[in-house]
Chains A and B, each alone.
Chain A
Amino acid sequence: MARFVLSRALKAVLTVWIAITSTFFLLRLLPGDPTTLMVEGDMTPEMQAALLKTYGLDRPLWEQYVSYLRELVQGNLGISFRQIQPVTDIILDRLPWTLLLAGSAFVLTVAVGIPIGVAAAVNRGKWLDRALQGFGISANALFVPSVAILLLVFFGAQLGWFPIGGAIDPDTRGAAAYLSLAHHLVLPVLSLVLVQLGPYALTLRTNMIEVLGEDYIRAAQARGLSARRRVWKHGLRNAILPALTLMGLQLGTLVGGAVLTETVFAYPGVGRLIYEAVGQQDYPVIQGAFIMLAVTVVIANALTDMLYAVLNPRIRL
């Protein structure tokens, strides 16, 4: 087990390093590189040179890369162009909101997806199964901002059941604050769950159908185990594993969806920060946000894989 964890962690570090390195060079090889974008047009050549020197952009690319990496390891993502503040601080302020949003969506998708997938597998060909298949295929076509706006207009603006923006009412304290937090979370989370749920439940259904045809399930039936026990205990345990892998692979999409949802609901996470930074052309923030999100996704993916190893005795080492 320790060896598995170690190799999985190594793979995660390698992924992050490749991502950082390739984007570093890609950004500097692209036609409109950030160095020219940062320098305002009306500066004298001397001022430009001085500014480039301050940021170390006059040095050879290789040296820049090494010092960039050294700073990065120490958690330094540079200084924001617009707010004179370290990018790391700005992002760490926002990251918990994104983790809360994406994490809730992840948990809810699994919690709702399991019963739906199992019910569809057990009632194969019935209306629930057909509905799930239709929903699963069309989920691919759901555009997160469209879903978010629909929910916002209907449940937020028309019915007034939920707030249409923000993450919390700043005037609340104690239990009321948690309630306000949850209240603000409902619509953004729902936007993500609606998009993620279909493929997840569909995968679970397919796995479940396969597992229910296995010999050991029929053996369990022969031993006189109730249908309920066969499905929920023996079947689900095996059907859930591939679905877990799918969720791990979907994490990148989930984070991308969070960026869009946060934008619609003015939710103060990293996604909304990216939207604001794009409008202000604040490149260090955009780049830093990508790195932080990539690290988050890679860590979450590694944790999912480790959970898989814990749940699956066949690869328990």
Chain B
Amino acid sequence: MSAPVLTEQALPPAPAAPRRSFLSGYLRQPVVALSVLVLLVMAVLAVFAPLIADEPAGAGADVLQPPSGAHWFGTDDLGQDIFAQVVWGTRTSMVIGLAASLLAIVLGTAIGLAAAYFRPFDAVATVITDVMLALPTLPLMIMLAAVVSPSVTTLTLIIGFFAWPEVARLIRSQGLVISAMPYIDGARVLGATGWRIVTREILPAVVSLMVVSVLLTASRAVISEAGLSFLGLGDPDAWSWGRILLNAQRSGTIAIAWWQTLFPSLAILFLVLAATLAGTRFNDTRDPRRNGG
């Protein structure tokens, strides 16, 4: 669930020593360490939500209370605890963010690599990718989410399905570079099948790009989920940060109860910023030429 676990799993089984120094060099950057810490704390909140706060339900006696010792983040117009809502919302955001991102990575990598190696497929894939990138994604997701009954599963599928084109474009451009390298020609001369070349020779070369993509796509997925929930298309049975904002919007308490909108907003900001920074720094550490710029 946290970034370092993913990183370790996703790294190719290359020589161990330089890789380890890469990882420790990566984690030793203060920005990265802080980002990973934020992601870890969020992951702990998500996993242990039931132990940290009761799932908010029903109406409470303390209505629209500002933050206090009893209610750290205050209460909403129904008297529900905002802290509990934010903690439970962490769960939804992280689950959808990660699951949708993994779906997008699998689709995007498969399509990107196929496009990079099998030239006839490239034209089709490029047209589809371009079309999907040209369309306004949020209205598209709204339309689909409105028709299926929104749940954590359907939202994951919808968000993941519309996040793959950016991954595909990234993987394709890297894959094209790799495909043109002499060792690929060598493999072909030795009689390797296209499938073998793509999975054994090209795929390992784009793995680090995939790690970056997981983090960046997950951060976009979190924003998408929050947007859909804010428009009333979230899972009605799961708390979500977007839903807390929607509740404030619906009850007309936006202008009065600042705590009801501030805390979920900060949660979104911290999670997405941490994932983005961890991702971009990974990219910079991997390829020092990108530093500065």
Question: What is A's interface to B at a CB cutoff of 8 Å?
Answer: 14-15, 18-19, 23, 26-27, 30-34, 37, 137-138, 140-146, 149-150, 152-153, 156-157, 164, 206, 209, 249, 251-253, 255-256, 259-260, 263-264, 274-275, 277-279, 281, 283, 286-287, 289-290, 293-294, 297-298, 301
Interface string of B232-247 (1 = CB under 8 A from A): 1100000000100100
Q: Which residues of B contact A259 (CB under 8 A)?
A: 138-139, 142, 231
Question: What is B's interface to A at a CB cutoff of 8 Å?
Answer: 127-128, 130-131, 133-140, 142-144, 146-149, 219, 223, 226-227, 230-233, 242, 245, 248-249, 254-255, 258, 261, 264-265, 268-269, 272-273, 276-277, 280, 293
Q: Which residues of A contact B264 (CB under 8 A)?
A: 146
Q: Which residues of A contact B133 (CB under 8 A)?
A: 249, 252
Chain A interface secondary structure, helix, strand, loop or mixed?
helix
Q: Which of B135, B140, B233, B293 lies in contact with A278, CB distance below 8 A? A: B233
Q: Which residues of B contact A152 (CB under 8 A)?
A: 254-255
- Given A157-B255, A209-B293, A281:B139 Cβ within 8 A: no
Distance of B167 from chain A, by nearest CB (Å) = 15
Q: Which residues of A contact B135 (CB under 8 A)?
A: 15, 19, 252, 294, 297-298
Asked whether A146 lies within 8 Å of B219 as measured between CB atoms, the reply is no
Distance of A201 from chain B, by nearest CB (Å) = 14
Q: Which of A141, A206, A255 lies in contact with B219, CB distance below 8 A? A: A141
Given the complex of chains A and B, what is the CA–CA distance between A23 and B127 in angstroms?
16
Chain A, residue nearest B266 (CB)? A146
Given the complex of chains A and B, what is the CA–CA distance between A34 and B147 in angstroms?
6
Best-buried of B136, B261, B272, B277 by chain A (most CB within 10 Å): B136
Asked whether A18 lies within 8 Å of B131 as measured between CB atoms, the reply is yes
Chain A, residue nearest B258 (CB)? A153
Distance of B174 from chain A, by nearest CB (Å) = 19
* 16 A-B pairs with C-beta separation under 8 A: A15-B134, A27-B144, A32-B147, A138-B276, A141-B276, A142-B269, A143-B223, A145-B242, A146-B245, A255-B139, A259-B139, A259-B142, A278-B231, A286-B142, A293-B136, A298-B135
